[in-house]
Amino acid sequence: MPATPPSPHSYPPRTSVWFAFVSFGAVIAAQTHAILTSPAEGDMGHLQKIMYVHVPAAWMTFLAFFVVLVFSARYLWKRNENDDLLAASAAEVGALFNGLTLMLGMIWGRPAWGVWWVWDARLTSTLVLFLIFVGYLALRAFVDDAEQKARWSAAVGAIGAINVPIVYMSVTWWRTLHQPPSSPATLDPAYTMGLRLNAIALLLVMIHFIRKRYEIARVERAAEHVAEAAAMGGR
């Protein structure tokens, strides 16, 4: 039997298992620190503790979609398939955090505002952002041609990511029920450390998710290349 020639597509190395343990351990440590040390807030009491998951999830959404924007633009410029796969991986992870942000916002909104949902600018623009990236993922699932899929999803990803500044500024531009953006600059110092630690921990989890999803996408693409080569009689 002749030796198998190398695949035309590189097979990615495995992402580190240790990084996964460190990132999830960091979330446990950061949440424990925040829950145990942050005092009850004047208006909301201990409900404020939802901030440590809701706000970092929203930041990770923005960051993931920024990665989508960068690598979608890079794909349209250089036509490197790996840029498309990385953008798609970030879009999937971004959609996860976006959905989580919406869910956590509803869980926080019910006791704080008395309603699960209001059609105000922040909530509606966040929902629109989520629907754009669900559409992005659906587009990738339904288009078969790899080059066409990459081109179309790069365009949708870049346009979708433009919505991120609108979501961020929505509480400033329009009158909303949602409070102004929470950040270490606008927070009481008693809550700053907890928010920073939780943001860093969730950033590590997001990096792990994107790296792992990208690795899987590359393995799947390498298998497709092998199949295409076999179909053309190359193997």
Q: Does 27 bind other proteins (CB under 8 A)?
A: yes
User: Would you give the binding string for other proteins spanning residues 110-149, x where CB under 8 A is met?
Assistant: xx--------------------------------------
Please name the residues in contact with 175: beta carbons below 8 A apart, sequence gap of 6 or more. Answer: 121
CA gap 41, 136 in Å, rounded: 39
* 63-102 binders of other proteins (CB under 8 A): 93, 96, 99-100
Q: Which is nearer to other proteins, 104 or 129 (CB)?
A: 104
CA gap 222, 10 in Å, rounded: 7
Q: Does 222 bind other proteins (CB under 8 A)?
A: yes
Largest Cα–Cα separation, the chain = 76
Given 104, 123, 129, 195, the residue binding other proteins (CB under 8 A):
104
Sequence letter at residue 37: T
Cβ(150)–Cβ(84) under 8 Å?
yes
Q: Which is nearer to other proteins, 177 or 226 (CB)?
A: 226
Please name the residues in contact with 156: beta carbons below 8 A apart, sequence gap of 6 or more. Answer: 132, 135, 136, 139
**Interface positions with other proteins (CB under 8 A):** 4-7, 9-13, 20, 24, 27, 31, 45-47, 49-50, 53-54, 57, 93, 96, 99-100, 103-104, 107-108, 110-111, 205, 209, 212-213, 215-216, 219-220, 222-223, 226-227, 230, 235
